[in-house]
Amino acid sequence: MTMTHNPINGTSHPRMLGIIAIGTLLTWLTPDSGYARKELLTPEEKTQQAKADRIHLDTLALTSHGPIDTNALTKAATARLAQLGYRTVADPAQPHEAVVKIKCEELKTWEGTGRSGGDADMVDAAVRLWKGPACQISYRFGARWADWRHEVRTEFVNPQEAARQAGQADAGTYAIMQLIERIQADPFPFLLAAEWGQSSRLITALDAAGTTAPQKQLVIGLLGNMLAIDAIPRLTGALQDPDPAVAKAAATALGTIGHEDGIPALLSIFKSGTAEQHQAAAAGLGRLAPLHPNSEIVPTLLTALPNEPVRTQIVLARALGKTTDRRVLEPLRALHRSVLKEARADSTPELKELLATLGIALDGFDGVHTEE
């Protein structure tokens, strides 16, 4: 019988073993691509970002026939930035902390993939497949352009057809004017403030006269993602906002920030608020419960659990299942038994979701949170 020699396990191929060793060493020495995608800012640059107030606007408008006047574009962008208190300078020789470039095109020029960011990373980031009219917004501090990009697009892809339907002869000018209208309502100043870590500017914007309810939701979400502890007092006030969507966003943001200072207001709303406020507070408390196991969150949620509507029970069960507090086991099991008795093949999707959520929560304790 002929024996087959394994060149990897054998010792007769030192060259292959050497190649494997070199490959392993190179893998160890090569920095992780996830970290290499974005340059880290120096402490001085972070300080500069946080203090940025004066901005030089660099605007460009391009049609298929070449560049056109950018006065209307500059005016619209200046007005939007002024709503957050930013001052713009026209002359690059004048003192400024940052340069914001806005390049609007009748037909977007494909520039390849970015070093970071993209469709999946943030809303309205540059989309590689978009070929219609678009504005690319980027910024620079000092000599370095940031990886951050924001794209503003029209609702139409074909400017020729859109101009014809609107009775306009010049498709390029029409496309640029439509982009300017989008700039006038676009949230890019809020996104820049969040990117630069300027939470105080965003907090002020919440109380500005021209801030709409959708903009408030966006700003509140940005403050939550920034883990802006200084925003907690303003967010607790937003829990009482007459717009349920704004109140829900505030509760979620408080949970995202994760600080214990957000707990008292959420507990108060959970116990005495309206039905919409109650459910919003449940979502926020659900995020905080695993972070603060010694707070009053778990006892409060356990007391409320049996009598809540199914939708709220799903939120509470998901939150309680993420804690390491074994007091939640028996109440979750009791609710699970109760739901199993009611569940049928034709049960509502909500009831099926509750059953699945309870199962996941209990499995988490059985498999991860072991008995002491």
Query: For residues 100 and 57, is the Cβ–Cβ distance under 8 A?
Result: yes
As given in the structure block, the two tokens for residue 362 are 């209990």
- Among residues 112, 134, 142, the alpha carbon closest in space to that of 47 is found at 142
Question: DSSP letters along 122-169, please?
Answer: STT---TT--SSEEEEEEEETTEE-S--EEEE-S-S-HHHHHHHTT-S
- Among residues 71, 62, 161, the alpha carbon closest in space to that of 107 is found at 62
- Given this model, what pLDDT does residue 32 score? 36
Which of 25 and 342 is assigned the larger pLDDT?
Answer: 342
In this structure, of 45-49, 298-302, 310-314, the range with the lowest mean pLDDT score is: 45-49
- Among residues 313, 315, 297, the alpha carbon closest in space to that of 305 is found at 313
User: Architecture of domain 48-192 in CATH?
Assistant: 2-Layer Sandwich (3.30)
Query: For residues 183 and 77, is the Cβ–Cβ distance under 8 A?
Result: yes
- Among residues 370, 371, 345, 328, the alpha carbon closest in space to that of 357 is found at 328
What are the domain boundaries of the chain? Answer: 48-192, 198-367
Sequence-distant (≥ 6) Cβ neighbours of residue 124 within 8 angstroms: 150, 151, 152, 153, 186
As given in the structure block, the two tokens for residue 18 are 């050497």
Global model pTM greater than 0.85: no
Which of 122 and 250 is assigned the larger pLDDT?
Answer: 250
pLDDT tens digits along 154-185: 999 999 999 999 999 999 999 999 999 999 99
Which of 339 and 366 is assigned the larger pLDDT?
Answer: 339
- Given this model, what pLDDT does residue 137 score? 96
- Among residues 162, 189, 183, 196, the alpha carbon closest in space to that of 70 is found at 183
As given in the structure block, the two tokens for residue 202 are 């965003």
User: If you count them, how many residues does the chain have?
Assistant: 372
Assigned CATH topology for domain 198-367: Leucine-rich Repeat Variant (1.25.10)
pLDDT tens digits along 317-360: 988 888 888 899 999 999 999 998 888 877 899 999 999 999 99
